[in-house]
Copies of this chain bind each other. A is one copy, B any other.
Amino acid sequence: MNIVVLPGDGIGPEVTDEAVRILDWFVTKRGLPLRMERRLFGAAAWAAEGTTMPDASWDAIMAADALLFGATGSLDQKHIPAEERRKGSLLRMRKALDVFANLRPVRAWPALAEVSPYKPRTIAGTDLVFVRELTAGVYFGTPRGIQTLPDGTRWGLNTHAYTEAEIARAARFAFTLARTRRNHVTSVDKANVMEAGALWREVVAAVHARDFPDVTLEHMLADNCALQLSRAPTRFDVIVTDNLFGDLLSDCAGAINGSLGMLPSAALSDPGPDGKRRALYEPIHGSAPDIAGKGIANPLGAILSAALLLRWTARAPAEADALEAAVATALAAGARTADIALPGESVLSTRGMADAVIAALEHP
**What is A's interface to B at a CB cutoff of 8 Å?**
73, 91, 116-119, 122, 138-139, 144-146, 149, 153-165, 190, 192-200, 222-224, 226-227, 229-232, 244-245, 247-252, 254-255, 258, 260
Contact = CB atoms under 8 A, between A and B. Distances in A.
Given A149-B163, A155-B162, A226-B252, 5 more contacts: A117-B231, A144-B195, A158-B194, A226-B248, A248-B248
Contacts of A200: 156
A248 to B, nearest CB: 5
B156 A196 contact: yes
By Cβ-Cβ distance, the 10 closest A-B pairs, closest first, are A156-B199, A230-B255, A156-B196, A117-B122, A226-B252, A223-B251, A155-B163, A227-B251, A158-B160, A226-B251
Contacts of A252: 226-227, 229-230, 252
B153 A162 contact: no
B197 A156 contact: yes
A252 B250 CA distance: 12
A213 B236 CA distance: 44
A162 B163 CA distance: 24
- Of the listed residues A159, A200, A226, A229, the one surrounded by the most CB atoms of chain B closer than 10 A to its CB is A226
29 contacts: A91-B193, A117-B119, A117-B122, A118-B119, A118-B230, A145-B195, A146-B195, A146-B199, A153-B163, A153-B164, A153-B165, A154-B164, A155-B161, A156-B194, A156-B199, A157-B161, A158-B159, A158-B160, A158-B161, A158-B194, A158-B195, A160-B160, A226-B251, A226-B252, A226-B255, A227-B255, A227-B260, A230-B255, A248-B249
A158 to B, nearest CB: 4
Contacts of A144: 194-195
Nearest to A121: B117
Given A119-B117, A260-B227, A160 B162 contact: no
How many chain copies? 2
- Of the listed residues A146, A149, A153, A252, the one surrounded by the most CB atoms of chain B closer than 10 A to its CB is A252
Contacts of A119: 116-119
- Of the listed residues A144, A149, A158, A232, the one surrounded by the most CB atoms of chain B closer than 10 A to its CB is A158
A44 to B, nearest CB: 18
Nearest to A114: B119
A247 B231 contact: no
A163 to B, nearest CB: 4
A119 B252 CA distance: 16
A357 B222 CA distance: 33
A255 B149 CA distance: 41
A156 B227 contact: no
A153 B206 CA distance: 14
Nearest to A191: B156
Given A117-B122, A146-B199, A227-B254, A157 B159 contact: yes
A192 B164 CA distance: 27
A248 B223 contact: yes
A195 B230 contact: no
Contacts of A192: 73
Contacts of A91: 193
